[in-house]
Structure 1
Amino acid sequence: MSSWIETEIGTIPANWKIGSLGEICELLTDGAHLSPKPQKSDFYMASVKDMRYNYFDFKECKTISEEDFQKLLLNNCSPKYGDILLSKDGANCLDLIFVYKQPETIVLLSSIAIARLKDGYDPDFYRYILLSPNIQYLMRNNYVSGSAIPRVILKDFKNVPVPILGLTEQKAIAEILSSLDDKIDLLHRQNQTLESLAQTLFRQWFIEEAKEEWEEKPLSKIADFLNGLACQKFPPQNDIEKLPVLKIKDLKDGISENSDYATSDVKPEYIVNNGDVIFAWSASLMVKIWDGEQCVLNQHLFKVTSKDFPKWFYYHWCKYHLDNFIAISSAHATTMGHIKRGDLDEAMCVIPSNEELVKMDDEISPIFEKIETNSRQIKSLEKMRDTLLPKLLSGEVRVKI
């Protein structure tokens, strides 16, 4: 008798069964379909924009009145510890799935679904199930409606097929994958601390304690801003000489199996490498040091470089002016907000002497190098986890119980 069986979710061990998400859930619902007026308070109303890989970032989270908050608590709009949360609407549909383990009591907007499992089903294990390639493919092709604005319809979503197996085996598989996630999370948090330290030094040197005699130059003069290609005009000619296309969504979420591809036969300056500074100047404005694989720069993104100044210097000046750029973009917004090159000409930066810049560089460059080293390690661990996940779920790699 075979040790494995073929199912709609792929090859699984013969002692597993196939059920549905609705069968294993005590509750499958979404957040509030009404959005109360924001009010300064301690009562958080989270949306997809506040979701990270495995937690909520409450720094810019909307807050509402206690009265509105209490009303929503009564309507199953609040996750409990151990609930699986899924981004179910918009550009991040099904990209973000994690188990809620934060101490804060919060309410959610309807763009986030809540899956509360019955006893006997481990939320960490089923989170990995929902993130696995086969299930993701099934969900996106069968349970998501809309093309311009993708959306999960929960009454259908309850039919998503999932494996049913013993709780002990669920926990054993989840423990292996969680050990990798814990290391990834630790490195992310280290990087947040290092980035905060670098930002503090920059503000101290150039904003709070800047010297009057320092020269001023516009952002456009301290760095080069290369706009990307219209990559649809550069399709891959074969399956070997091609690279993924870096778009605004990929800049935020990383390259995925849903990313587009272009030929690798483009001018070298349009190739983006790990460690390059990328500035999204349209739609969702952001500045990021790219931490992913080699790819091709798409339009609406600048690759930022400089022959005269270190990376941290022009990166932090871009970050410093970002809030103003976002305000300019909002004022320009018709169908899609953006900034113009003229806005870079008006964003002024102060320039210390060469001797002072060298001393600053000696202090801040090691911080940047550590961040980039951590980022590479994160990608390596993520690749290991993502390679191991389907092997564990298919039974190719079995766990000891």
Structure 2
Amino acid sequence: MSYETYRIADLIDEIAMGPFGSNIKVSCFVDSGVPVLNGSNLEGFSLSEKAFRFVTKEKADSLNKANAHRGDIVITHRGTLGQIAFIPQDSRYDRYVISQSQFRVRCNDKVLPEYLVYYFHTPIGQHKLLSNASQVGVPALARPSSTFQQIEVVLPELSIQKRVVEIISTIQKKIANNQELNDNLMQQAVTIFKSWFVEYSLFDGIEPKEWETVNLEKITSLISRGIAPKYSDNSDQIVINQKCIRNHMIDLSQARTHTPKVINEKWLRFGDLLINSTGDGTLGRAAQVWFQPQNITVDSHVTVVRPAKENLIFYIGLWGVLHEREIESLHTGSTGQTELPKERVKALELHLPDNGTLDRFNTLIAPMAAAIVSKQNENNKLATLRDALLPKLMSGEIDVSAVQL
């Protein structure tokens, strides 16, 4: 198996930065059109087709250099560094507008774009990608387009690249299928909640008179921000941050480890509702702990809401998911410095159903929550397998011809 060393500049036909911020203002966004990429779209190996904002075709045309097409690679150079994904040939849209924090790359025929993206997801690839990062102020890559082109990578012949891509893509597709199943289950759970407790479908569209209106504090045993962690790689204590809470689910792969001063009531329990509580764009996002947490807490940018009784767990959790916009509206502070005061969370009002209705609701939701956790666990194992295989396949330590899909 032969390998050659290339600079990135030798592997690409085109590289372009995103537009200046003034080119895409809030007033530019429309209900449909050409999607604008953000950091959440680059969280995996390939493009995530979620949470888009759109600009008109005419606006996208005016930002031609900032248009990314199928087969292109998009990289974040400011903010959450190291994000890199390719736009697959079967993507939903034929083009996208990259943000001011991103740049795009179009490869030539020496390298498969998927292979290059996979390379930069390995530890050595991430190290090379972030070698010119500055952590002063907002994290950023120095001269991103030029420094990126000087990175050296070792590549096998195209046939080997193709085989590596096939192997990793098979794992990726299984992860994506599991995630789609989980998204569907979550949508079903939210729909059931809305039908029962918003539309009152079981009660001829009328709220039962015996249901009490209470504030959230009355039916919870804890509403509190998390801890200020002391991060450590030599610990089994996990601290969840705001990146872990997305799409109404908790992704522990984005968490970090820390050394706790003391283990206290803020260590998570089954049924805790977690709410992102700092910053525009993320504040208000909610997800519930549907697994049995061990040695896990949250940092000070996340609020923990703990149901007071077991039969309230799924009710409060799905209430939080359905009311993200309302929770977001409770923020204080100016743009970019918004915070969610816990006193406002405590004062939120909601209806308290009778125990019989809650028991019937829990009978429906509990198996769905268990199925979601099962798929999440399977995805964690698949991701571990993928991350272990990838550098060994790329280095030739594992013979790609010996891998059976």
TM-score, length-normalised on structure 1? 0.85
Q: Cα 1:134–1:295, aligned 2, differ >3 Å: closer, same or farther? A: farther
Distance 1:278 1:222 in 2: 16
**Selected match of 1:219 from 192, 216, 219:** 216
Give the corresponding residue for 1:287.
286
Give the corresponding residue for 2:176.
185
Shift of 1:242: 4.5
Q: Does 1:26 align with 2:18?
A: no
Distance 2:339 2:58 in 1: 38
Shift of 1:176: 0.8
Q: Does 1:318 align with 2:320?
A: yes
Consecutive unaligned residues of structure 1, counting only runs of 5 or more, are: 1-12
Shift of 1:399: 0.8
Give the corresponding residue for 1:130.
120
Q: Cα 1:255–1:313, aligned 2, differ >3 Å: closer, same or farther? A: closer
Shift of 1:175: 0.8
**Selected match of 1:270 from 254, 266, 269:** 266
Give the corresponding residue for 1:246.
240
Shift of 1:198: 0.8
Distance 1:259 1:154 in 2: 29
Encode CA deviations 1:282-329: one digit per residue, 9 max, x unaligned.
Answer: 223221235798533322323332241343211122223321221221
Distance 1:138 1:177 in 2: 21
Q: Cα 1:256–1:353, aligned 2, differ >3 Å: closer, same or farther? A: closer
Q: Cα 1:96–1:222, aligned 2, differ >3 Å: closer, same or farther? A: farther
For 1:288, what is the secondary structure of its paired residue? Answer: strand
Q: Cα 1:280–1:21, aligned 2, differ >3 Å: closer, same or farther? A: same
Distance 1:270 1:113 in 2: 40
Residue 63 of structure 1 aligns to which amino acid in structure 2? F
Q: Cα 1:362–1:41, aligned 2, differ >3 Å: closer, same or farther? A: closer
Encode CA deviations 1:192-229: one digit per residue, 9 max, x unaligned.
Answer: 11111111111111112261411111122222324322
Distance 1:271 1:393 in 2: 40
Give the corresponding residue for 1:144.
133
For 1:76, what is the secondary structure of its paired residue? Answer: helix
Shift of 1:106: 2.5
Encode CA deviations 1:136-185: one digit per residue, 9 max, x unaligned.
Answer: 01221x23234321223111111122122211000111111111100000
Shift of 1:335: 6.1
Q: Cα 1:164–1:372, aligned 2, differ >3 Å: closer, same or farther? A: same
Distance 1:29 1:339 in 2: 37
Residue 287 of structure 1 aligns to which amino acid in structure 2? A
Distance 1:275 1:397 in 2: 42
Percent identity for Structure 1 against Structure 2: 20
Aligned partners of 2:333 and 2:339 also within 8 Å: yes
Residue 296 of structure 1 aligns to which amino acid in structure 2? T
250-259 or 277-286, larger mean C-alpha shift? 250-259
For 2:297, what is the secondary structure of its paired residue? Answer: strand
Distance 1:148 1:64 in 2: 29
Shift of 1:17: 1.9
Residue 27 of structure 1 aligns to which amino acid in structure 2? E
**Selected match of 1:205 from 196, 211, 236:** 196
TM-score, length-normalised on structure 2? 0.84
The within-5 A match list for 1:47-58 is 47-51=37-41, 52-53=43-44, 54-58=46-50
Aligned partners of 2:272 and 2:288 also within 8 Å: yes
Aligned partners of 1:120 and 1:167 also within 8 Å: yes
Q: Cα 1:361–1:245, aligned 2, differ >3 Å: closer, same or farther? A: closer
Encode CA deviations 1:83-132: one digit per residue, 9 max, x unaligned.
Answer: 12222221x22234233441313322232221111013211111100111
Distance 1:385 1:275 in 2: 30
Distance 1:380 1:277 in 2: 25
Q: Cα 1:255–1:190, aligned 2, differ >3 Å: closer, same or farther? A: closer
Aligned partners of 2:98 and 2:104 also within 8 Å: no
Shift of 1:269: 3.3
Q: Does 1:373 align with 2:364?
A: no
Q: Cα 1:138–1:258, aligned 2, differ >3 Å: closer, same or farther? A: farther
Q: Does 1:76 align with 2:77?
A: no
Encode CA deviations 1:227-269: one digit per residue, 9 max, x unaligned.
Answer: 322223xx76x94x54243222344595569945224x63253
Shift of 1:63: 2.2
Consecutive unaligned residues of structure 2, counting only runs of 5 or more, are: 201-205
